[in-house]
Amino acid sequence: MMNHRCAPALLAALMFTLLSAFIVRSSALTFAQDATAPITTAPPELAPLDEAWYGAWIGVAISPAPAAATTTAAPEMPVSITVTRGDTHPIIAITVVRAGALAKLADDVVSAGRTLAFTLNSANRKARFEGSLDEGLTTMTGSFAFVGADGAFMPPLARWSMKRVDLVTALDAARVYSAILEVAGQKIPMQIALGEGRFGWCGAMDIPAQGLRNFGVTVTRTDTGFTLFVEVGARATITLTTDAAMTSLEGTFAQGGFVGPIRFDEVLGAKLGDTRRPQDPVPPFPYSEREVKITHPAGHMLVGTLSTPSVTTLARDGKFPAVVLVTGSGPQDRDEALVGHRPFAVIADALVRAGIAVLRYDDRGVASSTGDFNKATTIDLASDADIVSEWLKLQDGIDATRVGMLGHSEGGAIAPIVALWQNTAVSPVNPLAFTVLLAPPAEQGGALLTHQTKQLYDAAGISSEASAAAIVAHAAAMKAIIERRPKDEVRVLIDALVREQIKISGQPLPDDAAMKSTVDGAMEQILHPWMAEFIRFDPRPVLMRLDVPTLAMCGTKDVQVDAATNLGIIDEITAITHAPIVTRRYEGLNHLFQPATTGGVEEYAVIETTFDPTALAEMVAWVVDTVSRAPVQRTIESTRAATVTDDELPKRLYLPVPATRKGTR
């Protein structure tokens, strides 16, 4: 359930956040809104790009400070890009960590000699960049502006500048070093590459736990070694002393108020930035894929991939059973991409090869989908899944009586909601046929978060005695949110929680101003509509009404959604309702269904397995068996009707518009 997708400050996965990093929902970039002249762009026709552009660049984007803030420095945002040759135009990979862009390919690239322009589409916003080389061809200056829904540029006009650096991975003499940073009992592996090229010393970094691969860093050569500046969130400074042979680098890692020792040792033959995982599907595929666009009644568009089998063993009258995949919490793309893994791509590939069509889509406001993710609650996202599945039932080649839904983490709470809506309300074609719930939450959100916090501390090697006060403080804060206590009462509890968490980290308490800022940020997070709704949401009434064939799976090393607690609740409900629900526990698997040691989130990136093959095969086999027998007659037990009232259930936001079956779009 962790999203794992915040703008990744290096220590975000190490130092426990207010809600134990359950989900961090990244926010869009915002700048002071003072008026300025519109941005200019290069001409639309493609022109040869100056050779000096090709390579790597590091710099900053600088937004104007608010007009009234005479003493406030203009906010700076680190930016790095690489420019390589493409078939028809340059290919630009841009990294703006605060915008959630990590080596993201730019759109709408135009070039004209020394001028280059492109669009970055990330974190629910579009920004148009342009820049020109100076006479020395080693620095670039330019401007950028956000682009509105109508395509018009929005003030303010902001500045950005970059300097040319060598791409360290292209240097034959580059050397790679490995280290493990220890913070608050957690161990974070990382690698750096260093080399000296035409433009001086350069470097890059891999921090798999943060999803950073071949991330450019600024390198300064000193009399005794190197100083590295890593521009992610709060700047991290790594000060290193080298031995005579440069086989080891030893010094300190500093970020914010944290300073700790670190030692890098050379790893011969190693390379940075290999992002492919062993289970990643590799073309050519024995099935067809096409991009689809689905308009939501609220006005945004959900864009995804529909994969259709070539195997016809499960088809009836030329129509395939199908599954909609629903991602976990936080802004996620259709592959549920996370720290180099693409679990939904792996799951989709396995299902399609077995003869089942699969539709996976980008969350609203993420990647190709439009809309505002930051304003969406769980019920809003359930509405997206509802509309997507209803759309799928109307497509040619899809058997509308055999369309199911697979949800992971928060998606495991969404799928039963959609089944409730479609199976008790008017559906234009057919109700949802089945659900697969991967690591589904079954306890109330606040309790789940407190439970998760304890497990994360345990996985980090922090004793129960050391974490006890923080757990009590966490539970008190959750209770206040559930009871809708006044903000001033909540703030007192959050302040106490933050102080207990800082004690566990071993860091000194910050000064009053810094503490106020920390508590302000925590209050903003916990009172966010999505978070507050999640804390209050209790899945049990929905699960009491779940009456379609369902497979619920959890790993015993899951520290985010505890298998014993949550599958235990589902088993208790099934004993009452006699619904066709099967629960399966997988020994040693974590929240992502990877074979794990502790289950801690820092392991996700360093484990090469994306989804345990046995768990994947058994899940696919269950779906194949279920769709072979679908549709099944549903029966609602009288005990369910007596136990749960309609007032306890989430209301459907949009009724689907009746429509005739459509072909491909």
Q: Residue 510 domain-assigned?
A: yes
pLDDT of residue 192: 95
Q: Is 332 in contact with 364 (CB distance < 8 Å)?
A: no
Q: What integer is the mean pLDDT of 19-28?
A: 33
Question: What is the residue-wise DSSP string for 284-348?
Answer: SPSEEEEEEEEE-TTS-EEEEEEEEES--TT-BTTBEEEEEEE--SSS--TT--BTTB-HHHHHH
Percent of the chain residues topping a pLDDT of 70: 86
The tokens 């893994």 sit on which residue?
341
State the pLDDT confidence band at 636, using cuts at 50, 70 and 90: low
pLDDT higher than threshold 90 for residue 492: yes
Q: Which of the residue ranges 53-57, 212-216, 292-296 would you say has the lowest mean pLDDT? A: 212-216
Do 258 and 196 belong to one domain?
yes
Give the residue from 360, 448, 388, 408 showing the smallest Cα distance to 551: 408
pLDDT higher than threshold 70 for residue 306: yes
Rounded Cα distance between 95 and 534, Å, is 31
Q: Residue 41 domain-assigned?
A: no
Mean residue pLDDT of the chain comes to 85
Q: Residue 122 domain-assigned?
A: yes
pLDDT of residue 275: 62
Q: Is the peptide bond before 284 cis (omega within 30 degrees of 0)?
A: yes
Neighbours of 391 (CB within 10 A): 25
The tokens 């994360």 sit on which residue?
456
pLDDT of residue 658: 56
Residue 662 DSSP one-character state: B
Q: What integer is the mean pLDDT of 170-191?
A: 87
Do 116 and 246 belong to one domain?
no
Phi-psi group of 71: left, alpha or beta (phi > 0 → left; psi -120 to 50 → alpha; rest → beta): alpha
Sheet holding 55-62, edge to edge: 101-105, 91-96, 76-84, 55-62, 153-165, 139-147, 125-133, 115-122, 107-112
Strands 398-408 and 435-438 come out as: parallel
Tell me the CATH number at 110. 2.40.160.90
Do 209 and 178 belong to one domain?
yes
Q: Is 607 in contact with 589 (CB distance < 8 Å)?
A: no
Q: pTM for the full model? A: 0.76
Q: Residue 526 domain-assigned?
A: yes
Phi, psi of 291, deg, nearest 5: -80, 140
Rounded Cα distance between 280 and 338, Å, is 13
pLDDT higher than threshold 80 for residue 113: yes
Residue 169 DSSP one-character state: G
Tell me the CATH number at 311. 3.40.50.1820
Quick one: how many helices (H) and strands (E) in the chain? 12, 25
Rounded Cα distance between 455 and 598, Å, is 10
pLDDT higher than threshold 60 for residue 429: no
Do 214 and 321 belong to one domain?
no
Query: Looking at 497, 514, 535, which one is the last position of a domain?
Result: 535
Q: What integer is the mean pLDDT of 265-281?
A: 84
Q: Which of the residue ranges 97-101, 164-168, 218-222, 480-484 would you say has the lowest mean pLDDT? A: 97-101
State the pLDDT confidence band at 75, using cuts at 50, 70 and 90: low
Give the residue from 602, 580, 587 showing the smallest Cα distance to 555: 587
Strands 107-112 and 115-122 come out as: antiparallel
Do 345 and 379 belong to one domain?
yes
pLDDT higher than threshold 70 for residue 642: no
pLDDT higher than threshold 70 for residue 123: no
The tokens 């008190």 sit on which residue?
476
State the pLDDT confidence band at 62, using cuts at 50, 70 and 90: confident
Q: What integer is the mean pLDDT of 536-558?
A: 96
Q: Which residue has the higher pLDDT, 636 or 458?
A: 458
Report the DSSP beta bridge partners of residue 469.
Answer: none
Q: Residue 456 domain-assigned?
A: yes
State the pLDDT confidence band at 257, using cuts at 50, 70 and 90: confident
Range of the domain at 81: 51-163
pLDDT higher than threshold 60 for residue 13: no
What letters, b where the CB count within 10 A reaches 16 and e where it falls short, cover 421-438?
A: bbbeeebbbbbbbbbbbb
Structural domain total, the chain = 4
Q: Is 239 in contact with 264 (CB distance < 8 Å)?
A: no
pLDDT higher than threshold 50 for residue 33: no
Q: Residue 471 domain-assigned?
A: yes
HSE at residue 296, side-chain half, CA atoms within 13 A, is 25
State the pLDDT confidence band at 276, using cuts at 50, 70 and 90: confident
Tell me the CATH number at 190. 2.40.128.120
pLDDT of residue 26: 32
State the pLDDT confidence band at 187, using cuts at 50, 70 and 90: confident
Rounded Cα distance between 441 and 413, Å, is 6
Q: What share of the chain is helix, strand, coil (3-state, %, to 5)?
A: 30, 30, 40
pLDDT higher than threshold 70 for residue 657: no
